[in-house]
């Protein structure tokens, strides 16, 4: 993709050409010599690539040469992959159970046909590379094996402490917060006044000096904020010594020591000639015993040892000394030893407009151009709070007064605007060059990962797991082998390291976490997205939604990764596309011949009404590694050709209406993750699935496994993660060993068959989030079996249907055993006469009781001072003809905290209620004897007939069945966890 990436790409291909499998097949196919020549030619080209990539910025001929080379390298990668695929195919054939004696001569499995085809392709490729290599000689490239280039090719101004306050907009609050931190001392000190507010988290126990990092993307105003705080009068009065050092570039400890000494003692003009021993003595003399403020601006250093070396020289300052650091990288802040980071946020649109207006118009001139002001405010939204972008775009528009010129800027991406400006001879455009520094500092292994993110639309929430799978599919993540086999790291683990690194460098933002604090998704700032598109160049192409009736765009031949945000039917895709992601809201996929895209690594057609016939030739996509066909319920049956996808790593088939898997799925040797969730008709797994030695994650939520062989049980036990599971009660003992692996949603059907629920060992499954227990009839020991199925306290959702016992299990009604429950749904439990909730349920948001035909009363047993149902948002009571009341019983404690009095509580006073946040989100239907709910009165009840006028009917994806009850307001907003619970809650109610 971008600079320094081709160097690594070629290196990977050279390494793969030397693999044993390719050497063996090459020799057997009589193309061994050509393979060796190809490897040598690529090795010769590789050594000049770093110099060539540096020269292309100022030499169009070099840029064109690199483009031709890149096309050839992609072709070489395809050929190498075909060799490796052939090796996999032969491995499957050798270990296959069926005879392979009879072969079609023209089939792909015929060695003679393969030898002829590959021999021809290798020869053509070698000739092409020889032409490219011969052209290389006219550029006189230098050979380099390591990237020793200067980090940035743009001018980097050295910062200083002075700032004119009148030029700064919108940072007053940030300045106040930073100044407050600077003036506050550690606990028990008398520094910084007596208001009692101490930021002791910045002070390690044994140090006088606190470190405060300001972190944010390039152009956000970190340096400006540091300048404002540095020049504040109260800060100047507070510190005995203030020093400002622009770090940038390399973190040279000796050079930085010299700079700090000059700031501390301007008369020490000879420090440049001193050795480090003399410098450290001078520095310690300058700062020891003095309360100082040191600003280290624009720090990029990630070397812990270098920082510790400098830090040790600075720790002699007196109590209350501060080091204020500005950086784009969270890791920099972390290694500096700071506990808390000040994350700088963007400006508002109004503040950005003010910056833009000052640059784009002379004083008062905007009043004569109301239309330009209107367009300008739209332009400012592109800045997404980044002051540098607002100032730069304002300067760009300073001499432009035609509406068409302003509309061009409004309607185009930043990267395209700057390219047009540069092509037109404009100077000083610096939004992307400034951000480009962050890209230049990336390790080469991360550059292609970052650039690939240009496939996502702006403001798209990017799932971490999916992104890592896409990187894996493109070959961006290489395996790592430690000193022993036990230290080998998985591709997923390496991918997570890459993701976190980009997040720490502010290339990603708005990270979301799950309940355990694990990051699950992120977004990209619009300007960072523009940077990704800029460095990806023509290789990443998004087909946006255009004007209705307009001609579809032409996709250039050099494009390798395509994202469709509109229908595919009228588009012509280049044959060598490697990524096809269809995100159009038009669900129709059409009859596109996907087998023509022979280089595809990624195919994502989720929610596109794809049918089995449309993917019948999918087995021809031999390079495919990522396949998502989720939410296409009309697929029904997977084509048998899919088992030829021996490189496929990730296969997502959620809700595809599948009844079974292909018998030969075991041939898909590279599969690592298989998602079969909500294919409710799958009741068995093929025996060959046990051959998938690389499989580590399986999602079977919503399935109903009835036939489980010993081998299948062994497979499930060795998986590292089972994201969901549905099985019959007779197989309950299988769950005993799946403690750490099992996560997500567990469904047990036919619970009446369970004899001993404790064998499931649900209490030891901390990652289980949702539990559904479905009874198909009455059992002999329903009460005891349910009691033994007590889940781990981390459980969020509980669904029980068809239970035939007389009373519910104690763990279901004792709140302290399941304190994190968000959803409870009990349905069609015909024999239970009473229901008691013991203690408050602080997290409960959704409560549904339906079809409890014998239920007469509900009781909430609480203690004085306890909350009731503080989080409940949705209450649904239906078809309980004998239910008469819902009462509250209070337990009163004596001095020894023991219950001494239990009394019926009278109706609440004023606004006190069981359900303080419930109004307008509850439905009661089919409960004719119910006269009172503690805190609610009959005249306040909203019946279904009334609710139908206010609530929207929500359906799951592709669900065409009518929804009998409506529980979600179309205008209400909930958190992610709430939305997830609501979706599962409604899914349960529809069953």
* Dihedral-angle region of residue 890 (phi above 0 means left; psi in -120 to 50 means alpha; beta otherwise): beta
- In contact, 966 and 952? CB cutoff 8 Å: yes
Average pLDDT value over all residues in the chain: 80
Structure tokens at 985: 């809650």
- Per the CB < 8 A criterion, the answer to whether 735 and 717 are in contact is no
Q: Give the model's pLDDT for residue 712.
A: 83
151 three-state secondary structure: coil
Are 9 and 31 within one domain? yes
Angle (nearest 5°) at CA 446 between 440 and 452? 100
179 shares its domain with 304 = yes
- 748 DSSP β-pair partners: 727, 773
**Residues 874, 862: Cα–Cα separation, whole Å:** 21
The Cα 625–Cα 688 span in angstroms is 20
410, part of any domain:
yes
How many CB atoms sit inside 10 A of residue 323's CB?
23
Give me the pLDDT at residue 88, please: 83
Q: How far, in Å, CA of 930 to CA of 582, rounded?
A: 52
Instruction: Decide if 21 is inside a domain.
Output: yes
Enter the tokens of residue 154. 């743009």
Q: Which residues, other chains included, contact 435 with Cβ-Cβ below 8 Å and sequence gap of 6+?
A: 217, 218, 219, 527, 528, 530, 531
Would you place residue 193 in the very low, low, confident or very high pLDDT band (cuts 50, 70, 90)? very low
pLDDT in tens, 332-343: 999 988 767 899
- Which residue(s) pair with 242 in the sheet? 293
What was the pLDDT predicted at 696?
92
Final residue in a domain of this structure, among 119, 139, 159: 139
Contact, 600 vs 621, CB < 8 A? yes
Among 244-248, 301-305, 477-481, which is the least confidently predicted range?
Answer: 477-481
Q: 84 in helix, strand or coil?
A: helix
Q: Are 244 and 158 in contact (CB under 8 A)?
A: no
Distance of alpha carbon 580 from alpha carbon 616, whole angstroms: 17
Q: Are residues 322 and 229 in the same domain?
A: yes
* Max avg pLDDT among 459-468, 505-514, 834-843: 459-468
pLDDT for 770 beyond 90: yes
- Residues 493, 398: one domain? no
**How many structural domains does the chain have?**
4
Burial of 328: CB neighbours in 10 Å, binned 0-12, 13-18, 19+? buried
State whether 188 and 324 are in the same domain.
yes
379: phi then psi, degrees, rounded to nearest 5: -60, -40
Convert the pLDDT of each residue in 624-666 to its tens digit.
Answer: 999 999 998 889 899 999 999 999 999 999 999 998 999 999 9
Instruction: Please determine, for residue 427, whether its predicted confidence score (pLDDT) is greater than 90.
Output: no
The verdict on 193 and 331 lying in the same domain is yes
The answer to whether residue 325 scores a pLDDT higher than 80 is: yes
Q: Are strands 874-878 and 768-774 parallel, antiparallel or unpaired?
A: unpaired
Strands (E), 119-216: 209-215
Residue 794 lies in a domain: no
Note whether residue 507 is domain-resident. yes
Under the banding of pLDDT at 50, 70 and 90, the label for residue 153 is: very low
Q: What is the pLDDT of residues 467-503, one digit of tens each?
A: 999 999 999 997 544 433 445 788 999 999 999 999 9
Who wins on pLDDT, 952 or 597? 597
Token representation of residue 971: 């205008």
Note whether residue 315 is domain-resident: yes
Q: Is 519 helix (H, G, I), strand (E, B) or coil?
A: strand
Q: Are residues 59 and 188 in the same domain?
A: no
HSE toward the beta carbon, residue 54, CA cutoff 13 A = 18
Q: What angle (nearest 5°) sits at the alpha carbon of residue 926, between those of residues 923 and 930?
A: 85
- 454 pLDDT higher than 50: yes
3-state secondary structure of 327: strand
Tell me the residue range of the domain where 512 lies: 441-453+461-524
Last residue of a domain, one of 289, 308, 343: 343
Q: In the predicted model, what is the mean pLDDT of residues 439-447? A: 86
Q: Identify the bridge partners of residue 580 per DSSP, sorted by sequence position.
A: 562, 603
Q: Where are the beta strands (DSSP E) in 54-154?
A: none
* Residue 281 to residue 290: CA distance in whole angstroms: 15
Measured distance CA(820)–CA(81) in Å, rounded? 48
Quick check: is 575 in a domain?
A: no
Measured from the Cβ of residue 294, the count of other Cβ atoms closer than 10 Å reads 23
The β-bridge partners of 604 are 581, 628
Q: Where are the beta strands (DSSP E) in 711-822?
A: 721-728, 742-749, 768-774, 797-801
Higher pLDDT, 775 or 95: 775
In 289-430, alpha helices (H): 304-314, 330-335, 349-360, 370-381, 387-396, 403-411, 414-423
Reading the block at residue 77, the tokens are 């990668």
Average pLDDT over residues 741-767: 89
H or E segment at 448? helix 444-452
In 3D space, the residue among 935, 991, 977 whose CA is nearest the CA of residue 845 turns out to be: 977
Exposure b/e, 443-465, CB count within 10 A at least 16 = b: ebbbbbbbbbbbbbebebebebb
Rounded to whole angstroms, the Cα distance separating 426 from 243 reads: 37
Of residues 743, 697, 705, the one with CA closest to residue 724:
743
What Å distances lie between residue 744 and 591, 698, 981, 984, CA to CA? 36, 11, 12, 12
How far is Cα 142 from Cα 51, in angstroms, rounded to an integer? 6
Question: According to the model, what pLDDT value does residue 791 have?
Answer: 95
Q: Residue 497: CB partners within 8 Å, gap ≥ 6?
A: none
Residue 716 banded pLDDT, cuts 50, 70, 90: confident
Spatial distance between the Cα atoms of 413 and 579, rounded to a whole number of angstroms = 22
Q: 486 — phi, psi (to 5°)?
A: -70, -20
- The terminus-to-terminus CA distance of the chain in angstroms comes to 49
pLDDT over 70 for what percent of the chain? Answer: 79
Please indicate, yes or no, whether residues 502 and 370 belong to a single structural domain of this protein: no
Q: In whole angstroms, what is the distance from residue 301 CA to residue 604 CA? A: 39
Q: What is the pLDDT of residue 939?
A: 46
Cβ within 8 Å of residue 450, ≥6 positions away: 439, 442, 502, 507, 532, 535
Q: Which two tokens stand for residue 393?
A: 């775009």
CB 573 within 8 A of CB 597: yes
Residue predicted with more confidence, 610 or 659: 659
pLDDT of residue 80: 87
- Residues 14, 121 share a domain: yes
Q: Give residues with Cβ within 8 angstroms of 984, minimum separation 6.
A: 745, 770, 797, 799, 823
pTM equals 0.80
Q: Is 742 helix (H, G, I), strand (E, B) or coil?
A: strand
511: Cβ–Cβ under 8 A, 6 or more apart, which residues? 503, 519, 521, 522
pLDDT over threshold 70, residue 201: no
Nearest CA to 559 out of 62, 131, 71 is that of: 71
- Three-state DSSP at 469 gives helix
pLDDT (0 to 100) of residue 195: 37
Higher pLDDT, 202 or 9: 9
Distances 555 to 78, 130, 166 between C-alpha atoms, Å:
21, 29, 48
Mean pLDDT value of segment 68-96: 85
Same domain, 179 and 317: yes
- 629: phi > 0 → left, psi -120 to 50 → alpha, else beta; which? alpha
Domain for residue 769, yes or no? Answer: no
Q: Place 988 in a pLDDT band, splitting at 50, 70 and 90.
A: very low
pLDDT of 549 above 70: no
What values do phi and psi take at 549, rounded to 5?
90, -10
Do 869 and 908 contact (CB within 8 A), yes or no? no
Say if CB 850 and CB 828 are below 8 A apart.
Answer: yes
d(CA 240, CA 261): 15
For residue 641, the number of C-alpha atoms closer than 13 Å in the C-beta half-sphere is 14
**What is the rounded average pLDDT of the residues 897-909?**
50
DSSP state letters, 656-694: S--S---TTGGG-TT--EEE-TT-TT--B--GGGGG-TT
Identify whether residues 124 and 55 lie together within a single domain: yes
Mean pLDDT for 581-604 is 80
| Tokens (6 digits) for 107 | 């089939």
Q: What is the mean pLDDT of residues 587-609?
A: 82
Q: Are residues 187 and 106 in the same domain?
A: no
Q: Which of helix, strand or coil describes residue 4?
A: coil
Q: Which of 174-188, 285-299, 404-418, 959-973 has the highest mean pLDDT?
A: 285-299
- Tell me the pLDDT band of 589, cut-offs 50, 70 and 90: low
**What does the pLDDT read at residue 245?**
94
pLDDT at 888: 82
Query: What's the average model confidence in pLDDT over 667-674?
Result: 95
Least Cα distance to 381 among 598, 527, 264 occurs for: 527
Per-residue pLDDT, 590: 62
Last residue of a domain, one of 490, 524, 558: 524
Lowest mean pLDDT segment, chosen from 15-24, 711-720, 823-832, 881-890: 15-24
Number of H helices, E strands in the chain: 27, 29
683: tokens are 């009741």
Q: Which of 81, 87, 19 is closest to 576 using CA atoms?
A: 81
Give residue 167's pLDDT.
85
């Amino acid at each position: 993709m971008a600079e320094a990436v081709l160097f690594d790409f070629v290196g990977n291909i050279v390494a793969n050409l030397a693999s044993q499998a390719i050497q063996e097949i090459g020799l057997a196919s009589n193309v061994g010599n050509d393979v060796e020549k190809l490897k040598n030619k690529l090795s010769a080209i590789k050594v000049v690539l770093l110099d060539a990539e540096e020269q292309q910025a100022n030499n169009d001929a070099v840029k064109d040469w690199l483009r031709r080379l890149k096309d050839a390298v992609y072709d070489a990668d395809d050929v190498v992959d075909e060799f490796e695929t052939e090796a996999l195919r032969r491995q499957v054939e050798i270990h296959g159970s069926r005879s392979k004696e009879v072969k079609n001569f023209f089939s792909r499995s015929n060695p003679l046909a393969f030898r002829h085809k590959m021999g021809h392709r290798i020869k053509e490729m070698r000739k092409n590379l020889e032409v490219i290599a011969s052209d290389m000689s006219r550029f006189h490239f230098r050979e380099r094996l390591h990237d020793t280039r200067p980090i940035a090719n743009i001018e980097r101004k050295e910062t200083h402490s002075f700032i004119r306050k009148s030029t700064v907009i919108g940072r007053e609050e940030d300045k106040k917060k930073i100044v407050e931190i600077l003036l506050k001392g550690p606990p028990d000190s008398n520094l910084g006044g007596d208001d009692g507010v101490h930021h002791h988290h910045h002070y390690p126990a044994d140090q006088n000096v606190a470190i405060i990092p300001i972190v944010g993307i390039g152009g956000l105003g970190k340096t400006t904020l540091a300048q404002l705080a540095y020049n504040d009068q109260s800060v100047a009065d507070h510190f005995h010594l203030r020093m400002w050092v622009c770090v940038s570039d390399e973190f040279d400890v000796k050079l930085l020591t010299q700079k700090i000494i000059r700031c501390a003692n301007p008369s020490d003009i000879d420090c440049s000639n001193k050795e480090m021993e003399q410098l450290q003595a001078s520095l310690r003399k300058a700062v020891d015993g003095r309360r100082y403020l040191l600003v280290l601006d624009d720090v990029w250093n990630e070397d812990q040892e270098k920082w510790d070396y400098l830090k040790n020289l600075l720790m002699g300052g007196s109590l209350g000394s501060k080091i204020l650091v500005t950086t784009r990288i969270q890791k920099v802040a972390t290694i500096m030893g700071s506990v808390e980071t000040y994350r700088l946020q963007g400006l508002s649109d109004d503040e950005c407009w003010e910056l833009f207006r000052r640059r784009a118009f002379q004083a008062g001139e905007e009043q004569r151009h109301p239309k330009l002001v209107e367009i300008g405010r739209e332009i400012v939204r592109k800045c997404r709070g980044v002051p540098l972008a607002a100032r730069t775009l304002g300067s760009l528009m300073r001499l432009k007064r035609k509406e068409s010129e302003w509309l061009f800027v409004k309607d185009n991406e930043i990267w395209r605007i700057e390219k047009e400006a540069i092509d037109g001879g404009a100077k000083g455009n610096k939004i992307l060059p400034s951000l480009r520094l962050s890209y230049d500092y990336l390790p080469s292994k991360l550059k292609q990962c970052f650039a690939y993110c240009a496939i996502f639309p702006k403001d798209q929430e990017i799932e971490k797991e999916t992104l890592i799978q896409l990187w894996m599919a493109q070959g961006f993540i290489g395996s790592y082998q430690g000193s022993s086999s036990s230290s080998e790291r998985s591709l997923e683990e390496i991918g997570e390291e890459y993701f976190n690194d980009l997040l720490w460098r502010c290339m990603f933002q708005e990270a979301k976490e799950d309940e355990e604090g694990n990051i699950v998704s992120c977004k990209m700032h619009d300007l960072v997205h523009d940077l990704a598109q800029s460095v990806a160049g023509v290789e990443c192409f998004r087909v946006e939604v255009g004007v209705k009736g307009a001609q579809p765009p032409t996709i250039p031949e050099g494009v390798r990764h395509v994202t469709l945000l509109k229908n595919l039917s009228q588009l012509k895709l280049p044959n060598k596309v490697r990524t096809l992601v269809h995100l159009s809201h038009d669900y129709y996929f059409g009859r596109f011949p996907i087998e023509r895209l022979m280089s595809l690594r990624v195919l994502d057609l989720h929610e596109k009404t794809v049918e089995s016939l449309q993917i019948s030739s999918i087995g021809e996509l031999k390079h495919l590694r990522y396949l998502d066909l989720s939410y296409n319920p009309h697929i029904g049956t997977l084509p048998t050709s899919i088992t030829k996808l021996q490189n496929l790593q990730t296969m997502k088939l959620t809700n595809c209406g599948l009844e079974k898997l292909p018998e030969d799925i075991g041939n898909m040797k590279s599969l690592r993750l298989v998602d079969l969730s909500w294919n409710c008709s799958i009741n068995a797994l093929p025996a060959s699935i046990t051959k998938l030695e690389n499989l580590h994650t399986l999602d079977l939520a919503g399935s109903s496994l009835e036939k489980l062989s010993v081998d299948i049980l062994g497979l499930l036990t060795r998986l590292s993660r089972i994201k969901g599971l549905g099985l019959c009660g007779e197989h309950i003992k299988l769950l005993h060993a799946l403690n750490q692996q099992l996560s997500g949603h567990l469904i047990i059907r036919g619970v009446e068959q369970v004899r001993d629920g404790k064998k499931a060992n649900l209490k030891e499954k901390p990652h289980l989030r949702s539990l559904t227990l479905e009874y198909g009839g009455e059992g002999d020991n329903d009460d005891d079996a349910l009691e033994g199925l007590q889940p781990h306290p981390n459980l969020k959702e509980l669904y029980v249907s068809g239970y035939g016992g007389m009373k519910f299990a104690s763990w279901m009604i004792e709140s302290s055993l399941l304190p994190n429950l968000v959803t409870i749904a009990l349905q069609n439990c015909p024999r239970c006469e009473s229901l008691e909730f013991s203690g408050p349920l602080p997290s409960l948001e959704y409560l549904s009781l339906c079809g409890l035909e014998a239920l007469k009363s509900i009781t909430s047993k609480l203690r004085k001072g306890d909350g009731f149902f503080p989080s409940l948002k949705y209450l649904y009571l239906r078809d309980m003809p004998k239910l008469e009341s819902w009462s509250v019983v209070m337990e009163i404690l004596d001095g020894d905290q023991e219950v001494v009095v239990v009394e019926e509580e009278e109706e609440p006073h004023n606004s006190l209620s069981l359900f303080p946040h419930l109004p307008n989100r509850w439905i009661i239907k089919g409960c004719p004897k119910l006269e009172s709910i503690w805190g609610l009165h009959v005249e306040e009840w909203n019946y279904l007939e009334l609710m139908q006028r206010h609530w929207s009917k929500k359906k799951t994806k592709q669900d065409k069945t009518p929804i009998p009850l409506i529980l979600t307001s179309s205008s209400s907003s909930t958190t992610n966890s709430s939305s997830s619970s609501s979706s599962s809650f409604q899914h349960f109610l529809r069953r």
